[in-house]
Structure 1
Amino acid sequence: MQEKCADRCPCPARGTLQEPELRPKPDARAETGARAARRKGRPRVRGAALLAFVLLAGCASPLPPPAQEEESREFSVLTYTTPGDATVLLPTLTVDTASSFVTSFIYDGLAVYDDQLSPHPALAESWQVADDRVYTFRIRKGVTFHDGAPLTAHDVRFTFLTIAHPDYQGARFGDFTAIRGWEELARAYAAADAAVAAGTLTAEEGRRRKLEAYEHFVRTGGLQVPDDYTFRVEAAYPFAPLFTRLTGYGIMPRHLLEPYMSDLLHSPYATAPVGTGAMRLVSWTKNERIVLERNPNWCCSLSGRPAQIDRLVIEIVPDQEAAVAALARGETDVADVPPEMADRFRSEVPDVNLYHYTTFAYTFLGYNLNHPVYGDVRVRRAITHALDREAMVAELLGGHGQVAHSHASPARWDYNPDVPVVPYDPAEAARLLEEAGWLPGPDGLRYKDGQPFVMRLAVNEESLLRRQAALFIQKALEPLGIRVEIERMDWDAFLAHISRGAKEPYLLGWSLGFDPDPHSIFHSRGGFHAITGLSDPEIDRLIEAGRSTTDQARRKEIYGRLQVALAERQVYTWLFAQDTVVGVNKRVRGVRHGSPRGLFWNWEEWTVEP
């Protein structure tokens, strides 16, 4: 899940723009073999101690190229180490950074974006926009999927129809409500669900009504194919995010996926994808490694030149210490470096270049707004007042970041620097808790109606930074009379936990998209409503206003007000917007710089020396 173009765990590659996306997606359920053995019993180390570990740790063998290619010495392999495995490799279903990173190599979108977030032709060789409502894309001829089948405008339309289908299993349905007929489709689906819930329709009858509504939309809605190489989209009204929505999704093959329309998630192509992109999938060993190899027929690069890398090996290493150690030893080419280690790593690991840049991402303490404790805004504000977030940035990020105050990134155009700040103020935190009825007890804990204030804080096991943040929060809230019990979970268990209505607080991060529309996250009908739980008419109105005008100055004003409203309600306790530091072995040439598109934005220009 994540607000997506965005940062792809953590080095965004070219391709899909999904919005939103949880960040990062570390799914390390099955650390296997030697890696798991290395983790057992090893103490956690940070800063200087971690760097020492990096420089002294033992070696492991990278995946070799095929023998005949190794002998020719012309086969180029790039190894990228990341904490999280992918979950599904279909662009309209991906909700996590790890999956979207992989799909961005396998699929092409209608456009590709540069480091300044400007679109360039990809599968669409050109486009026109009329009256801010009608989008016409001329599809590039001669493009083939990895299986040799030609790509046409019918594949483009099919990709978006999968999102409109009543059996859609993703979280993007709300991204396209401005398309002519889509809102009527949504109302028909809601009416059928309501009738089934009321008992006036059987489940089978309700499904039939949904399918009838869908077929009507297919015939009459705003997704049109005038000819095999023209895709036209008509919006019911001007809708600012629509262009990035349409151009950002990887285009999927209709001829392979149409038979699985009712269950794409469990289709064979969810794990054995076929796209038109720069790379094709060779193998996927869950929780260990994904191997991609170059598509010689790729024609949609940003630079206009073919990719120089023949094989991309994505190594799944949930243990950040092990990943950094592999980078220092030269066993991987690209990996994240904890920000607090950046200065010493730069001076003591000379064979690695460090790229330090700002991305559209932040980390937050999330709440269940329907919970009897955390539904009280006074409690949420008290918790925020109790956290010295400046110290958090200094200690956990080594100063490579800044305190976050609302749903925005300082690097994105909609950022409002005047959002009211909830300062570090333990005395005000105590006052708010007492006002909310949480009074000190004889054991040092606060009590209300005889119940102690115990926060059960969920954190995904694979994120070292969030584990450290959880310990910081635990220590900070103890003097206030709140006992924090940290519950560490693997990624799948964590996602299931935060989607439940009975959840307690959790630590998470959003990686934000190019467009600031946060409908999926904060709107009462958003795709991630089960996680945020927010239902606020004013918030809904601001979101709808911001997406229904194409005037950027007007949108900036609306989103500035939205950021203020979210901060006033303390929907989250926003913690920090961390900078990204990525290490790249010096044998990799052609890397330019990081940007909001990440480091991989020009990856097709990279070369790897033997």
Structure 2
Amino acid sequence: MKKTIALVSAILLLLTGCSSSETKTVEGNVTGQGAPITTEGESENVINLSMSVVRSLNPIFNTDETVNNVFSLMYEKLINIGSDGKAEPNIAESWSFNDEGNVLTLNLRNDVCFSDGSSLTAYDVAYSLKTIDRAEASYYKNCSNNIKTWSVSSDYSMTVTFYNDGGNNIYYLSFPVISRTLYGGDYAVDSDSPNTALTNGLYRFDSLAEAKQLSLVASLNCFKGMAEVEKVMVTMTKDRSTQINLFSQGISDLLPADETELAGQSTAVGVNKTNYVTNIYDFIGFNFNNNIFGDRNIRQAIAYSVDQDSIIESVYLGNAEKAYSPISSSSWLYDKNVYGYDYDIQTAKMLLEQSGWRFRTSSSVRENTDGGKLSATILVNKENNERNQIAQIIADSLKVLGFEISIDSVDYETYKQRVESGSFDILVGSWTLSPVNDFSFMFETGNNSIGYSSEKMDEYIKNCNTAVTDEQMTEAYGKFQKYVSQELPYISLVFRQSSVYSSQRLQGDIIPARYNVFNGIKNVTVK
């Protein structure tokens, strides 16, 4: 009987498409239209996932990454960010900026529906923006923080005005769109979030066992088509270790995780692992208030002494991509003509000699003409095993060059305070970089933590941030990368890789990307 009702509803939906009528209050444990639900035992067509316990089914109020990954199956974003970091049409099918890049005209697809068949319009986008803006905490808070105003022009077009100029503003529109008629009012309120959902993604809400399990069913009215697997069951856990154990025991089918998280865990036979490059950027920083590191020859000598390939294999176990600047080689903005510093101890020694650092009174430590020693301390936080290993490798290399070198491994709070106060010589650090590609915090005079100052770099940063067209952006970021390579305020080490592990039950390719770890799940099938 359930199959018959679902089939009739599916035919009606395919004939009528999106409905313009208002959404009524959803009751019960099933919302909207989905794939036919088979009786228990009839089908194994299920993907099992895990995530943290949700406090709301409204994706805007979420702050947890594992929940965000699951919600990406339920809610589509206004614009997507591709594997190359470029903004891609999604719910918004096209857009155009004014000459300054601070006002954007947005055109939406007219065939996007919520899971009850109601149309998604610009009014829902505006409602979602206001909800983000009023939320105390949200995964997407940075979006509304950079948007000044927005206005709806028609059901499928709107205008957005940003505080700053530049084509990078498009990235602030990468947020999920929720239904204004489900939540009501001028904007959704976290405390009033219902235990149900109207979705617009590949999967629609089916049922929720609070703090235990979320059930999703393949949607028949997603504008991207219908997923091959009809059901997704998500087990909620209170900690990360439980999620890892569920996968290791073969209970869940997909797990986004770093290789280090699975260290020592036995996994089921036939597990597949697919790597992807993250936006976690590891680097070596110099304190420019130390006269030694104000000399570019010294910075370049250190760069030539760092064996990146060896560090990637020994420290990251191969799970990293060599970095030449804060722009990944997988980015659409990457300039392949930017050169790096291949490991070359002889060139490193020559650069030190050119700057007057020689073995004078000692055969192990170089001195300048004034008798000052070439000495430095490397700052790391002791909780981070990778940073400590890298610091030791760098220290060993610098001793070979003739540095008097030591490592200061401190707790994270002390590390953070010393970086902020400039109490270091060399530091090993990392940043999780934004898709917006604004590097002012790293390089801009008076706005960085290493005391670096350069009018030319400030100009390059400004040109990057204010570029609007693709051509302007690639030109501006190309010049920026070349100058970073020459100046070396930082030595770029790696972009870390992470992985998505999949069980042998699944057939087809999951093609994870840094902003969409379950990319490709639509075409995955169950054996």
Query: Could you tell me which residue of structure 2 aligns to residue 411 of structure 1?
Result: 330
Give, in angstroms, the shift of residue 561 of structure 1. Answer: 1.0
Q: Identify if the C-alpha distance between structure 1 residues 445 and 293 changes in structure 2 by more than 3 Å, giving closer, same or farther.
A: farther
Give, in angstroms, the shift of residue 587 of structure 1. Answer: 0.3
Q: Distance in 1 between matches of 2:414 and 2:213?
A: 27
The alignment partner of 2:484 has SS state of helix
Q: Distance in 2 between matches of 1:368 and 1:161?
A: 42
**From 372, 384, 395, the counterpart of 2:303:** 384
How do 1:211-290 and structure 2 match up within 5 A? 221=149, 223-227=150-154, 230-233=157-160, 239-246=166-173, 248-251=174-177, 276=199, 278=203
The alignment partner of 1:482 has SS state of strand
The alignment partner of 1:359 has SS state of strand
CA contact (8 A) 1:409 1:415 kept: yes
Give, in angstroms, the shift of residue 88 of structure 1. Answer: 11
Query: Could you tell me which residue of structure 1 aligns to residue 376 of structure 2?
Result: 453
Identity between Structure 1 and Structure 2 (%): 16
CA contact (8 A) 1:89 1:102 kept: no
Query: Could you tell me which residue of structure 2 aligns to residue 210 of structure 1?
Result: none
Q: What amino acid does structure 1 have at the position aligned with 2:122?
A: A
The alignment partner of 2:380 has SS state of strand
Query: Could you tell me which residue of structure 2 aligns to residue 311 of structure 1?
Result: 233
Query: Could you tell me which residue of structure 2 aligns to residue 485 of structure 1?
Result: 408
Q: What amino acid does structure 2 have at the position aligned with 1:310?
A: V
Q: Which whole-Å deviations, capped at 9, do the CAs of 1:301-360 have from their partners, x for residues lacking one? A: 63454863422347687679x95x875653543346877999xx9xx975123334x536
For structure 2, the 5+ residue unaligned runs are: 1-37
* 2:425 corresponds to 1:507: no
* 2:480 corresponds to 1:553: no
The alignment partner of 1:249 has SS state of coil
Give, in angstroms, the shift of residue 595 of structure 1. Answer: 5.4
Q: Distance in 1 between matches of 2:65 and 2:398?
A: 31
Q: Distance in 2 between matches of 1:327 and 1:368?
A: 42
Q: Distance in 2 between matches of 1:530 and 1:274?
A: 43
Q: What amino acid does structure 2 have at the position aligned with 1:404?
A: A
- Once the two structures are overlaid, the 10-residue window that deviates more, 501-510 or 415-424, is 501-510
How do 1:412-427 and structure 2 match up within 5 A? 412-426=331-345
Q: Which whole-Å deviations, capped at 9, do the CAs of 1:282-310 have from their partners, x for residues lacking one? A: 5897xxxx964326768546345486342
Q: Identify if the C-alpha distance between structure 1 residues 589 and 571 changes in structure 2 by more than 3 Å, giving closer, same or farther.
A: same
Which structure carries more helix by proportion?
1
**From 484, 489, 495, the counterpart of 1:571:** 489
Q: What amino acid does structure 2 have at the position aligned with 1:334?
A: L
Q: Distance in 1 between matches of 2:352 and 2:55?
A: 42
Query: Could you tell me which residue of structure 2 aligns to residue 193 of structure 1?
Result: none
CA contact (8 A) 1:79 1:315 kept: no
Q: What amino acid does structure 1 have at the position aligned with 2:461?
A: I
Q: Identify if the C-alpha distance between structure 1 residues 163 and 338 changes in structure 2 by more than 3 Å, giving closer, same or farther.
A: closer
- Once the two structures are overlaid, the 10-residue window that deviates more, 429-438 or 546-555, is 429-438
Q: Which whole-Å deviations, capped at 9, do the CAs of 1:164-183 have from their partners, x for residues lacking one? A: 78999999769986x7xx4x
Q: What amino acid does structure 2 have at the position aligned with 1:231?
A: M
CA contact (8 A) 2:229 2:526 kept: no
Q: Distance in 2 between matches of 1:532 and 1:87?
A: 40
How do 1:121-270 and structure 2 match up within 5 A? 121-122=90-91, 124=92, 126-127=93-94, 129=96, 134-138=104-108, 143=113, 153-160=122-129, 182=148, 221=149, 223-227=150-154, 230-233=157-160, 239-246=166-173, 248-251=174-177
Query: Could you tell me which residue of structure 1 aligns to residue 274 of structure 2?
Result: 355
Q: Distance in 1 between matches of 2:399 and 2:347?
A: 15
Q: Identify if the C-alpha distance between structure 1 residues 73 and 305 changes in structure 2 by more than 3 Å, giving closer, same or farther.
A: closer
The alignment partner of 1:573 has SS state of strand
The alignment partner of 1:413 has SS state of coil
Query: Could you tell me which residue of structure 1 aligns to residue 282 of structure 2?
Result: 364
Q: Identify if the C-alpha distance between structure 1 residues 465 and 606 changes in structure 2 by more than 3 Å, giving closer, same or farther.
A: farther
Q: What amino acid does structure 2 have at the position aligned with 1:552?
A: D
The alignment partner of 1:241 has SS state of helix
Give the count of matched residue pairs: 470
CA contact (8 A) 1:396 1:469 kept: yes
Give, in angstroms, the shift of residue 392 of structure 1. Answer: 1.4
CA contact (8 A) 1:387 1:424 kept: yes
Kindly indicate whether structure 1 or structure 2 has the higher relative contact order, using CA contacts under 8 Å at least 6 residues apart: 1
CA contact (8 A) 1:365 1:574 kept: yes
Q: What amino acid does structure 1 have at the position aligned with 2:232?
A: D
Q: Identify if the C-alpha distance between structure 1 residues 127 and 387 changes in structure 2 by more than 3 Å, giving closer, same or farther.
A: closer
Q: Which one has a bigger Cα radius of gyration?
A: 2
Q: Which whole-Å deviations, capped at 9, do the CAs of 1:419-468 have from their partners, x for residues lacking one? A: 2423434566576599699999989789998997332212654xx65565
* 2:524 corresponds to 1:606: yes
Query: Could you tell me which residue of structure 1 aligns to residue 27 of structure 2?
Result: none
Give, in angstroms, the shift of residue 224 of structure 1. Answer: 0.9
Give, in angstroms, the shift of residue 403 of structure 1. Answer: 2.7
Query: Could you tell me which residue of structure 1 aligns to residue 88 of structure 2?
Result: 119
TM-score with structure 1 setting the length:
0.57
Give, in angstroms, the shift of residue 231 of structure 1. Answer: 2.5
- Once the two structures are overlaid, the 10-residue window that deviates more, 88-97 or 228-237, is 88-97
Q: Identify if the C-alpha distance between structure 1 residues 555 and 472 changes in structure 2 by more than 3 Å, giving closer, same or farther.
A: same
Q: What amino acid does structure 1 have at the position aligned with 2:471?
A: A
Query: Could you tell me which residue of structure 1 aligns to residue 69 of structure 2?
Result: 101
Q: What amino acid does structure 1 have at the position aligned with 2:46?
A: S
Q: Identify if the C-alpha distance between structure 1 residues 121 and 576 changes in structure 2 by more than 3 Å, giving closer, same or farther.
A: closer
Q: What amino acid does structure 2 have at the position aligned with 1:600?
A: F
**From 36, 46, 49, the counterpart of 1:76:** 46
Q: Distance in 2 between matches of 1:89 and 1:452?
A: 55
For structure 1, the 5+ residue unaligned runs are: 1-67, 183-220
CA contact (8 A) 2:391 2:428 kept: no
CA contact (8 A) 1:365 1:506 kept: yes
CA contact (8 A) 1:377 1:570 kept: no
Q: What amino acid does structure 2 have at the position aligned with 1:308?
A: E
Q: Identify if the C-alpha distance between structure 1 residues 142 and 602 changes in structure 2 by more than 3 Å, giving closer, same or farther.
A: closer
Q: Distance in 2 between matches of 1:550 and 1:494?
A: 41
Give, in angstroms, the shift of residue 509 of structure 1. Answer: 4.7
